[in-house]
Amino acid sequence: MDLGLKDKVYVVTGASRGLGFAAARELAADGAKVLVSGRNKESVDAAVAELDAVGGPGTAHGTVADNADPEAAGRLLAAAAERFGRLDGVLISVGGPQAGPVVATAEEAWRDAFESVFLGALRIARAAAEALGEGGVIGFVLSGSVRQPIAGLGISNGLRPGLAMAAKSLADELGPRGIRVVGLLPARIDTDRVRELDALGGDADAARERNSALIPLGRYGTAEEFGKVAAFLLSPAASYLTGVMVPVDGGALRGL
């Protein structure tokens, strides 16, 4: 199926590695242009080089930016317009917040996570809403914690559901302008972040085995599998989907 991505332009934040990079790679593979951001110049440059290898020279452009920076949203969208001359969508991905239970996590960690996970994402979405026209799309990389808490991830459990509801509200507000808003709810996708979480208890292999047993498909997902779902949701092929939160979790979420 042709997703209609050729020469479309997307900004993907937190895309120097992990889920953001996986989404950017699938967009590039299907002919889109991507501006990717991350906090480290070396990793952003490496991501751009790999994306250019996938989509051809000039496919990607990198910008060093932290989602928590109030100026990041404007700089990212301006860089995309300058480099590629248009904008068709954004995918807002940010590294997972500090792990730990609610009662033992310092208030400062909550405040820092709110700036990056919640407020930073909202700033980028609002800036994109001003820049996008009909057919545009705003995507959020969220978490299965939107629908059920994940043990040991108190901050994520607290912030992700609120951001998901803000995204749902944004879908209502922007729908009349033909702009879509979608969310992705990954669970155990085999990334550095998930491997780090598995290792917190001291035995990463045992944690992976326990978690895999709770997934109907019996295994962790791959970054490529997540990226393909993200590329579809951002593409014109998904033009009648908005306000949806799509689990990418092998069936781990038990509710409808």
Q: Would you say residue 130 has pLDDT above 90?
A: yes
**CA atoms of 80 and 65, how far apart (whole Å):** 13
- C-alpha angle 23/123/128, rounded to 5°? 60
* Amino acid, res. 126: R
Single-letter residue type at 219? R
* Angstrom distance (rounded) from CA 61 to CA 52: 9
Identify the DSSP state of 220.
P
What does the alpha-carbon distance between residue 178 and residue 24 come to, in Å, rounded to a whole number? 23
**What 3-state DSSP class applies to 57?**
coil
Convert the pLDDT of each residue in 236-245 to its tens digit: 999 999 999 9
Neighbour-count burial for 77-92, b at 16+ CB within 10 Å, e otherwise: bebbeeebeebbbbbb
CATH T-level topology, domain 9-239: Rossmann fold (3.40.50)
Q: Is the pTM of this model over 0.85?
A: yes
Measured between alpha carbons, how far is 52 from 87 in angstroms, rounded to an integer?
19
pLDDT band at 165 (very low <50, low <70, confident <90, very high): very high
pLDDT tens figures, 65-119: 999 999 999 999 999 999 999 999 999 998 788 889 999 999 999 999 999 999 9
Q: Which residues pair with 52 in a beta bridge?
A: none
Q: What is the DSSP letter of 99?
A: P
How far apart are alpha carbons 254 and 136 in whole angstroms?
A: 32
The answer for residues whose C-beta is within 8 angstroms of residue 237's C-beta and 6 or more apart is: 1, 2, 3, 4
Q: Give residue-wise pLDDT tens across range 17-67.
A: 999 999 999 999 999 999 999 999 999 999 999 999 999 999 999 999 999
Q: What is the pLDDT of residue 1?
A: 83
Predicted confidence band of residue 144 (pLDDT cuts 50, 70, 90): very high
